[in-house]
A and B are shown apart, each in its own frame.
Chain A
Amino acid sequence: MAALRTKEYAEALFELTTGTDEKETGEVIQGFVTLLAKKGLLKHQDKIIAEYQKIYNKKNNIVEATVTLINRLSDTARTDLHNTLKKKYNATEVRIIEKIDERLLGGMKVKVGDEIYDASIKNSLNQLEIALLK
């Protein structure tokens, strides 16, 4: 299965590049890309890079959070969110990616990995609708 293989390649790349200096890394990557080309897997490069990023983040305790809201995050809110997530996930670094989606109507939605913290007005309204229908 293709999905499994991209992950395996990314894992291999991560293992090969940890603890190496710049020169070695360059060599490893060169070899890696040659291998991908040989196997005809260059078209999967995006997936492999994404997988690599995931593995790297996991091993280094980096949390990537996607925040969706209706307008830009204020600085204080950003620091607050940063600190909360850092504490919750015991992370060394928190990267916040902002996304604007007006369909949320208000509030925010934070996505970390497979988990979603939905504090948007839209979700509340949906929940309210279900509760009131009962």
Chain B
Amino acid sequence: MANNLVIENLKKEISRFEKSVQTQRVGVVMEVFDGIVRVSGLTDIKSSEMVTFAGGEQGVALNLDEESVGIIVLGDYTKIKEGDEVKATGKILEINVGDAMVGRTVNALGLPIDGQGAIATTKTYPIERVASGVIERQSVDQPMQTGIKAIDALVPIGRGQRELIIGDRQTGKTAVAIDAILNQKGQNMICVYVSIGQKDSKLRKLETRLREGGAMDYTVIVSAGASDPAALAYIAPYAGVSIAEYFMDQKKDVLIVYDDLSKHAVAYREISLLLRRPPGREAYPGDVFYLHSRLLERACRRNADYGGGSITALPIIETQAGDISAYIPTNVISITDGQIFLETDLFYKGIRPAINVGNSVSRVGGSAQIKAMKKVAGTLKLDLAQFRELEAFSQFGSDLDEATKRQLERGKRAVEMLKQPQYSPIVTEHQVVGLYALVKGYLDTIPVTDIARFQSELVEYVETNAKKFLNEVRTAKMWTDEGEAELKAAIDNFKVSFK
């Protein structure tokens, strides 16, 4: 029975193919060089339309010239020969997306590279999509907790925001992003980590780290490695945000990290120069601003009428010797809703994460911060600003009045308080407890070197002795007078026993 069914179906399928005659538009390869193919023919091809080469490689038409078409090859271009036939597919570049992608590592075309077999996807999304319009959007009003005290308190990030992480090499840019991903556990978030031009060894380490932290249960990694052609590095962030948009369309909140956009710009520069587009400043092509603005504009918070959901973007930019006035850094700073500055000096002073809180800003995150955090962070900001001013001044003399000394001591403790080891995100209510103790002056009598230990032990103590306070902050986002009294008593009691 079953056998007959198979044969019948097969016959039906075959008969369908016998009848179909396909029209195809083709071109002929004229030149092949460095991942770029120039093709004659292919009339009526659209911009960023996918093409297939005789060997099965895919390409994207980027330059539509009068006499030829400039195509970037997404894969191995060494097998393509002059005179090869190129077929137009009629489709704009797209990738497969689906829920099954969660926990997987894919390349810029959405194909798995983690050796765990095919991904059963249901839909395809174009890689280049127009960002949500004004009608669909809503202002950022929900926090995206990174679990990093310095960020959540001073440069808060909201869901749907675009916050740039910028700094020199080896200042912990990726670490900030990874901590943010690790902290999304149980927050009903999907994370997409786009790795552009990174070493495969780094990616492997990172993936293992995320898996150990249980973060791969809600994370997709999109990778275009250092050895992949520039064409893949160029499309990887767009592929990543298309995957993110799929999840946003499922009404989910998504966090996407682009690590990093400097290399993306470099890959695009390479392609543009090979396509003979005129170079501009720093040899980047004229549309390098648009390259990043159209990508980051796709981050948004959608209102309930359009299904809700959000995409929070954390682009990363690597500066050279702290030069933030280079072309790409200034571009991306102006596109994003704020930036987190990481500095080498701070990093080597042992202030980690090496965030320069004076220069870091969040233009929209403030309205997304919870009330309790806002309350403690306001005082903290003031303390730190005064400290910075006095610190420079106090280096010249030792004769300082009491108030200044107090101010300095408070500042030192604040800086100490904001230090945090890697891979150890702290939940919001615990952050609030620590910062509360600081701004209310409870730490002024604790030696600076003991601050970290004091804080972690205090949190443990409060966990059993001021449950009400923690609960209020967790659920109502603000403490009541009762809760505050309970916390005060708990801190007082703890201080007595602290050695």
Beyond A3-B68, A4-B66, whether A114 also contacts B17 by CB under 8 A is: no
| Chain A positions within 8 Å of B67 at CB level | 1, 3-4, 7
B21:A128 contact, CB within 8 angstroms: no
**Assembly CA distance A123 to B42 (angstroms):** 20
B13:A114 contact, CB within 8 angstroms: no
Q: Among the interface residues A7, A119, A124, which one has the most CB atoms of the partner chain B within 10 A? A: A124
Q: In this assembly, does B24 line the interface, its C-beta being within 8 Å of a C-beta of chain A?
A: yes
Q: In this assembly, does B495 line the interface, its C-beta being within 8 Å of a C-beta of chain A?
A: no
**Assembly CA distance A124 to B18 (angstroms):** 7
Q: Which of B356-373 contact A (CB under 8 A)?
A: none
Q: In this assembly, does A113 line the interface, its C-beta being within 8 Å of a C-beta of chain B?
A: yes
User: Which residue on chain B has the smallest CB distance to residue A1?
Assistant: B67
A128 contact from B17, B23, B44, Cβ within 8 A: B17
| Chain A positions within 8 Å of B21 at CB level | 117-119
Q: In this assembly, does A115 line the interface, its C-beta being within 8 Å of a C-beta of chain B?
A: yes
B42:A132 contact, CB within 8 angstroms: no
**Assembly CA distance A103 to B21 (angstroms):** 18
Q: In this assembly, does A127 line the interface, its C-beta being within 8 Å of a C-beta of chain B?
A: yes
**Assembly CA distance A19 to B98 (angstroms):** 63
B17:A124 contact, CB within 8 angstroms: yes
B25:A114 contact, CB within 8 angstroms: yes
A123:B40 contact, CB within 8 angstroms: no
Q: In this assembly, does A131 line the interface, its C-beta being within 8 Å of a C-beta of chain B?
A: yes
B17:A3 contact, CB within 8 angstroms: no
**Assembly CA distance A81 to B25 (angstroms):** 19
Hey, what's the 0/1 contact readout for A107-120 against B, CB within 8 Å counting as 1?
00001011111110
- The number of residues on chain A lying at the interface, defined by a beta carbon within 8 Å of a beta carbon of chain B, is 18
| Chain A positions within 8 Å of B26 at CB level | 111, 114-116
User: Which residue on chain A has the smallest CB distance to residue B13?
Assistant: A131
A108 CB to closest chain B CB, in angstroms? 10
Hey, what's the 0/1 contact readout for B383-402 against A, CB within 8 Å counting as 1?
00000000000000000000
Q: Which of B157-196 contact A (CB under 8 A)?
A: none
| Chain A positions within 8 Å of B78 at CB level | none
Q: In this assembly, does B41 line the interface, its C-beta being within 8 Å of a C-beta of chain A?
A: yes
Hey, what's the 0/1 contact readout for A92-130 against B, CB within 8 Å counting as 1?
000000000000000000010111111100011001100
Q: In this assembly, does B464 line the interface, its C-beta being within 8 Å of a C-beta of chain A?
A: no
User: Which residue on chain B has the smallest CB distance to residue A127?
Assistant: B17
Q: Which of B50-95 contact A (CB under 8 A)?
A: 66-68
A115:B25 contact, CB within 8 angstroms: yes
Q: In this assembly, does B14 line the interface, its C-beta being within 8 Å of a C-beta of chain A?
A: yes
**Assembly CA distance A113 to B24 (angstroms):** 11
| Chain A positions within 8 Å of B68 at CB level | 3
B22:A117 contact, CB within 8 angstroms: yes
User: Chain B contact residues (Cβ within 8 angstroms of A): what range?
Assistant: 20 to 34
**Assembly CA distance A127 to B37 (angstroms):** 26
A127:B20 contact, CB within 8 angstroms: yes
Q: In this assembly, does B197 line the interface, its C-beta being within 8 Å of a C-beta of chain A?
A: no
Q: In this assembly, does B27 line the interface, its C-beta being within 8 Å of a C-beta of chain A?
A: yes
User: Which residue on chain B has the smallest CB distance to residue A2?
Assistant: B67
**Assembly CA distance A7 to B27 (angstroms):** 17
User: Which residue on chain B has the smallest CB distance to residue A121?
Assistant: B18
| Chain A positions within 8 Å of B14 at CB level | 128
| Chain B positions within 8 Å of A123 at CB level | 22
Q: Which of B7-32 contact A (CB under 8 A)?
A: 13-14, 17-18, 20-27, 30
Q: In this assembly, does B320 line the interface, its C-beta being within 8 Å of a C-beta of chain A?
A: no
User: Which residue on chain B has the smallest CB distance to residue A5?
Assistant: B67
A5 CB to closest chain B CB, in angstroms? 10
Q: In this assembly, does B493 line the interface, its C-beta being within 8 Å of a C-beta of chain A?
A: no
| Chain B positions within 8 Å of A127 at CB level | 17, 20, 22
| Chain A positions within 8 Å of B25 at CB level | 114-116
User: Which residue on chain A has the smallest CB distance to residue B10?
Assistant: A132
User: Which residue on chain B has the smallest CB distance to residue A7?
Assistant: B67
**Assembly CA distance A7 to B26 (angstroms):** 20
| Chain A positions within 8 Å of B17 at CB level | 124, 127-128, 131
A118 CB to closest chain B CB, in angstroms? 5
Hey, what's the 0/1 contact readout for A72-94 against B, CB within 8 Å counting as 1?
00000000000000000000000
**Assembly CA distance A4 to B21 (angstroms):** 34
Q: In this assembly, does B422 line the interface, its C-beta being within 8 Å of a C-beta of chain A?
A: no
**Assembly CA distance A100 to B17 (angstroms):** 23
User: Which residue on chain B has the smallest CB distance to residue A108?
Assistant: B21
Q: In this assembly, does B480 line the interface, its C-beta being within 8 Å of a C-beta of chain A?
A: no
**Assembly CA distance A111 to B17 (angstroms):** 20
B22:A114 contact, CB within 8 angstroms: no
B24:A118 contact, CB within 8 angstroms: yes
User: Which residue on chain B has the smallest CB distance to residue A116?
Assistant: B24
Chain A residues engaging chain B, CB cutoff 8 angstroms: 1, 3-4, 7, 111, 113-119, 123-124, 127-128, 131-132
A-B CB proximity, top 5 nearest = A119-B21, A114-B41, A116-B24, A3-B67, A124-B17
Q: 20 A-B pairs, CB-CB below 8 angstroms?
A: A3-B67, A4-B66, A7-B67, A111-B26, A113-B43, A114-B26, A114-B27, A114-B44, A115-B23, A116-B24, A116-B25, A117-B22, A117-B23, A124-B18, A127-B17, A127-B22, A128-B14, A131-B13, A131-B17, A132-B13
Given A3-B30, A116-B24, A118-B24, 17 more pairs with CB closer than 8 A: A3-B40, A3-B67, A7-B67, A114-B26, A114-B44, A115-B23, A115-B25, A116-B25, A123-B22, A124-B17, A124-B18, A124-B20, A128-B13, A128-B14, A128-B17, A131-B13, A132-B13
